[in-house]
Amino acid sequence: MNFHAIRAIYVFEMARTWRTVLQSIVSPVISTSLYFVVFGAAIGSRISDIDGVSYGAFIVPGLIMLSLLTQSITNASFGIFFPKFTGTIYEILSAPVSYVEIVISYVGAAATKSVILGLIILATSSLFVPLQIMHPLWMLMFLILTAFTFSLFGFVLGIWADGFEKLQLVPFLIVTPLIFLGGSFYSIDMLPPFWQTATLFNPVVYLINAFRWSFLGVADVSVGLSMAMTVLFLALCLTAVWWIFKTGYRLKT
């Protein structure tokens, strides 16, 4: 394992974050704070408790997951897309660096950024609502696992995309609506029976519920099932990355 190569790419990607800290960190935190103001304070004051928890505290895991998923995909996809766009990807591919080391570097940096952002939003949310994390270790594990999984998905997206429009297509037109429809701001038990069943086909439901369980100890679906769905998606992303490097899909042309 070439740890010097991993460290070089990792440090370069992390340095890019600090050069664009307003876009990478400050903007998502401000956006999430506005959600707390609008939903937690203005609307939440008119909504009764959900599962014995105040509405403001109930939406915290969903809001963190909203930023975590979108930022993980965006960070990883832009991180690998720019070397493709500028042509410097060929220097990396011709260097004595294995495919595994390339993936660890880019995905690790994107996941680190997302975890940092998630923790900052978690700290910020405590300024708006009283927080209680019943399973802090599980919360941290879900946070890291989700960030790594969707950073890996973003890495695949960045290789697949051949333009900036496609980079924004998936996180903003597909993932974000799935998050809003996945129980971020409500319990799926509040829906009519038909929509409760339909919602279970939304994979984001399982991510949000597992994360919410680590905070509140309650979930609309089985935590074990949620973990299994996350691991399954991780395995699919790993398979896609393996196939990309094996075939050279959109890397060698």
Does 253 reside within a domain? no
Does 147 reside within a domain? yes
Does 206 reside within a domain? yes
pLDDT, residue 45, reads 63
pLDDT tens digit string along 203-215? 899 999 999 999 9
DSSP class of residue 189?
A: G
pLDDT, residue 172, reads 82
Query: Rounded to 10 degrees, what is the CA torsion of 114, 108, 222, 122?
Result: -20
DSSP class of residue 90?
A: H
State whether residue 162 is helix, strand or coil: coil
Give the total number of structural domains in the chain: 1
Q: Which of 54, 69, 76, 60 is nearest to 9 (CA)?
A: 76
Structure tokens at 155: 């890495």
pLDDT, residue 205, reads 92
Does 171 reside within a domain? yes
pLDDT, residue 22, reads 74
pLDDT, residue 108, reads 95
Residue 99, number of CB atoms within 10 A of its CB = 14
Does 209 reside within a domain? yes
Those residues of the chain that have pLDDT short of 70 are 40-46, 48, 253
Are 104 and 2 contacting, i.e. CB atoms less than 8 angstroms apart? no
Query: C-alpha 22: how far from its chain's center?
Result: 19
> What is the domain extent for residue 63?
3-247
State whether residue 132 is helix, strand or coil: coil
Handedness of CA 28, 30, 36, 39 (dihedral sign): negative
Q: Which of 48, 49, 52, 39 is nearest to 125 (CA)?
A: 39
Taken as a whole, the chain contains a residue count of 253
Are 25 and 183 contacting, i.e. CB atoms less than 8 angstroms apart? no
Cα angle for residues 14, 17, 238 (degrees, 5° grid): 60
pTM, 2 dp: 0.90
Indicate the average pLDDT of the chain. 87
Query: CA 190, CA 48: separation in Å to the nearest integer?
Result: 12
Does 23 reside within a domain? yes
Does 51 reside within a domain? yes
Does 252 reside within a domain? no
Residue 152, number of CB atoms within 10 A of its CB = 25
